């Protein structure tokens, strides 16, 4: 507590970071899709306001990752097939890739992007194993590292170099980020969630995914993302090359009994599934 207070005292003002704006269509879709009364044509009309974004959404919707039975020829048709919940994660995925843009030419930032997608794909499988909302889990997985993406877009060369050189646990990167930016990616992610007026449930997902797991064994979406993030590291998709990952066996033991019994993956088969999912996205 004392160290956290001390960080708050010396933290640079938020405006100092000069975070570039995230694609507004993706944020508005996230906000609108949470409305139970939203109409599909409202979502379609919103996406259509940005033709470039709409084109990429349609390509991703028709990719092997979503495996539609019949190819969608328009946004409204794609939404009707996928549904509003799945649309959130897909638009966020497109938004993140658009946001990173030229930053993806740096290998360390490309690996970070792949780690994030790996986390989302694992989260979806874990949620399905425990009868949780798998579309929400996928969206949470994409969203959990949004603070890292902001830091990467601000100073891609420096951040990429830091990710490439750092060695240590997944959480150890936070101090190095604070030294470079004055903020770490968890703090940055939480601030973005608040600024974008997204549901407060996403706060803990963005800010606490490197915190210790709950000692009482409680299971929530935030806890699921912690394990998914660790499994992405253990399966060969770490957030940075020198990440000291927990063993896959230990991460399986961290799952509740139901999830552990229904999650039918060994580390090698999980790595293959992730690689196929990433390839499906990167091929479009």
Most confident range, picked from 16-20, 127-131, 280-284: 127-131
Distance CA 207, CA 189 (A): 6
For the chain, how long is the longest CA-to-CA vector? 57
pTM for the model stands at: 0.91
Closest CA to 277 of 105, 48, 120, 109: 120
User: How does DSSP assign 211-239, residue by residue?
Assistant: SPPPTT----HHHHHHHHHHHHHHTT--S
Bridge partners, 242 (sequence order)? 167
DSSP annotation of 65? T
Instruction: Compute the average pLDDT of residues 167-175.
Output: 96
Angle at 71 between CA 67 and CA 73, to 5 degrees: 140
C-alpha dihedral, 125 to 84 to 275 to 151, nearest 10°: -110
Measured CA to CA, the distance from residue 22 to residue 28 in angstroms comes to 11
Distance CA 281, CA 264 (A): 24
Decide: helix, strand or coil at residue 168: strand
Q: Are 156 and 108 in contact (CB under 8 A)?
A: no
Tens of pLDDT along 245-254? 999 999 999 9
Q: What H or E segment, with its residue span, contains residue 167?
A: strand 167-168
pLDDT value of position 10:
53
Distance CA 78, CA 88 (A): 12
Strand blocks (E) in the chain: 167-168, 242-243
Structure tokens that stand for 73 in this block: 């020829």
Q: Closest Cα to residue 27, out of 82, 98, 75? A: 98
Residue ranges of the domains in the chain? 22-100, 106-284
Return the CATH fold of 106-284.
Answer: Hypothetical protein af1432 (1.10.3210)
- 222-277: pLDDT as tens digits: 999 999 999 999 999 999 999 999 999 999 999 999 999 999 999 999 999 999 99
Residue-wise pLDDT tens digits, 91-139:
999 999 999 999 999 999 999 999 999 999 999 999 999 989 999 999 9
């Amino acid at each position: 507590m004392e160290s956290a207070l001390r960080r708050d005292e010396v933290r640079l003002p938020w405006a100092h970071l000069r975070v570039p704006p995230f694609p507004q269509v993706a944020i508005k879709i996230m906000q609108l899709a949470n409305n139970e009364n939203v109409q599909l044509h409202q979502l379609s009309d919103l996406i259509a306001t940005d033709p470039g974004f709409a084109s990429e959404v349609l390509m991703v919707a028709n990719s092997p990752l979503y495996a539609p039975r019949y190819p969608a020829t328009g946004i409204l048709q794609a939404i009707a097939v996928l549904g509003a919940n799945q649309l959130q994660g897909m638009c966020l995925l497109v938004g993140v890739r658009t946001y990173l843009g030229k930053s993806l030419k740096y290998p360390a930032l490309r690996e970070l992007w792949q780690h994030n997608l790996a986390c989302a794909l694992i989260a979806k499988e874990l949620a399905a194993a425990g009868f949780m909302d798998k579309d929400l889990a996928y969206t949470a997985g994409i969203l959990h590292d949004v603070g890292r993406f902001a830091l990467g877009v601000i100073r891609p060369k420096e951040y990429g170099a830091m990710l490439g050189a750092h060695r240590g646990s997944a959480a150890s990167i936070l101090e190095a980020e604070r030294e470079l930016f004055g903020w770490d990616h968890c703090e940055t992610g939480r601030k973005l969630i608040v600024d974008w007026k997204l549901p407060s449930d996403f706060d803990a997902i963005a800010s606490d995914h490197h915190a210790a797991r709950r000692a009482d064994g409680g299971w929530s979406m935030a806890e699921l993302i912690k394990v998914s993030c660790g499994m992405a590291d253990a399966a060969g998709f770490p957030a940075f090359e020198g990440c000291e990952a927990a063993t896959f066996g230990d991460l399986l033991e961290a799952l509740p009994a139901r999830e552990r019994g229904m999650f039918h993956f060994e580390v090698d088969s999980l790595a293959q599934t992730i690689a196929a999912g990433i390839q499906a996205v990167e091929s479009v």
